[in-house]
Amino acid sequence: MNRGVVLGLALRVVRGLPRPLQRAVLGRASAGEPPPVADFVRMLEIAGDMPETGPTDAELFARFPQLAAVRVTEPAIDGVPARLYHGPGAPQAGFVWVHGGAFVSGSLRMAEAHFVALALAARGIAVLSLDYRKALHGGHFPQASDDVLAGWTWAVRNADRFGVGVERLHLGGASAGGNIVAGVSKRLRDGAGRAPASVVLVYPAVHPELPELSGELLAAVRRTPGAVNFTPGWVADMSLHYAGDADTLKDPYAFAANGDVGGLPPTLILNCEADTLRASGEAYADQLRAAGVPVTVHLEPGAAHGCVGDPFTVAARNSIDRMSEWLLGQPLS
């Protein structure tokens, strides 16, 4: 039997377990190198998605009581699943946020979507969290990009739903979501709609192939417990899967590091020290600077890829601090 099929059937079993057992099983299996892309994709096509092992609302509210005051609604956006988050006070900024998941996984329930939106909303930032079509069952670029563009267009037309002026709407995403957001930002620059006030990219992968990995970066991945090692070969294979064909790997909207990056909004890039995708974030920051785009880069020491989806860690707290400071126009510490 194909390995991807076996993994998918096993994942179905795990999805039926109580959440503490899901955490125990997947916690042991998540570090190191992920399965080959073909097996990983087939696994998810069979299983439906990765189990949600993040904290429940009850667990989040017990640790962060202020999050319980956030109101969550689900606006209708042309078939794009979305949640709109409002804190108890008048918002000071609006933010459209896109989770990651290697283009093939993730949902609005995952902590990288839900916790981030709750935490920012509690700090005075109205958040629209977007889902998008995954690169599964024959789906490829530009489906996810079109969904995020539709979500952003809705936000611009409905800025009153955020409670802020359209000039205070920002756009951001994590990992694959960062890739999609960076590409949508270029589509907006090139005439697809109103550009955001700024862009926030959290451990993004915006190159079809990883830039060269330094020895220091590889050593950080090796010494960090729980770090996922996205090898250059794995990233190249996933990029091709997402793109659908080799020609699309050159598309500047599929991978924003392609082509001209001038004229883009001010950008915050948050990288994790123990994350091979950091090479993409750092190289993209250099490209933006060279093109005259205002860019701020923060490296979270000791953190592994996906840290904002692990709410009870110092890295998640620090990252939320950086994001909120940026979005509220405060000096970054």
pLDDT score for 1: 60
pLDDT band (50, 70, 90) for residue 52 = confident
pLDDT tens, residue by residue, 66-113: 999 999 999 999 899 999 999 999 999 999 999 999 999 999 999 999
- Co-location of 22 and 163 in the same domain: no
Residue that terminates a domain, selected from 13, 28, 53: 53
- Co-location of 154 and 45 in the same domain: no
Give domain status of residue 190, yes or no: yes
- Co-location of 1 and 81 in the same domain: no
- Co-location of 49 and 59 in the same domain: no
Pair type for strands 199-202 and 125-130: unpaired
Mean pLDDT of 176-181: 98
Give domain status of residue 187, yes or no: yes
Integer Cα distance of 235 and 205 in angstroms: 9
- Co-location of 112 and 153 in the same domain: yes
Q: What is the pTM of this model?
A: 0.95
Give domain status of residue 155, yes or no: yes
> Which residue has 């194909």 as its token pair?
2
Residue that terminates a domain, selected from 53, 68, 94: 53
- Co-location of 248 and 122 in the same domain: yes
Give the residue numbers spanning the domain of 279: 55-327
- Co-location of 31 and 159 in the same domain: no
Give domain status of residue 99, yes or no: yes
Q: What is the CATH number of the domain that holds 294?
A: 3.40.50.1820
pLDDT tens, residue by residue, 236-284: 999 999 999 999 999 999 999 999 999 999 999 999 999 999 999 999 9
Q: Which residues contact 75 (CB under 8 A, 6 or more apart)?
A: 82, 84, 128, 154, 158, 161
Select the more confidently predicted residue: 150 or 31: 150
- Co-location of 3 and 116 in the same domain: no
Residue that terminates a domain, selected from 53, 77, 97: 53
The answer to whether the beta carbons of residues 121 and 86 sit under 8 Å apart is yes
Select the more confidently predicted residue: 280 or 10: 280
- pLDDT of 7 > 80? The answer is no
- Co-location of 6 and 126 in the same domain: no
Integer Cα distance of 58 and 55 in angstroms: 8
Residue 86 forms beta bridges with which residues?
71
Integer Cα distance of 9 and 297 in angstroms: 41
Q: What are phi and psi of 28, to 5 degrees?
A: -80, -25
CB neighbour class for 245 (10 Å; exposed up to 12, middle 13-18, buried from 19): exposed
**What's the domain count of the chain?**
2
- Co-location of 268 and 294 in the same domain: yes
DSSP string covering 234-288, please? HHHHHHHHHHSSTGGGG-TTTSTTSS--TTPPPEEEEEEEE-TTHHHHHHHHHHH
DSSP string covering 130-167, please? E----S-TT--TTHHHHHHHHHHHHHHHTHHHHTS-GG
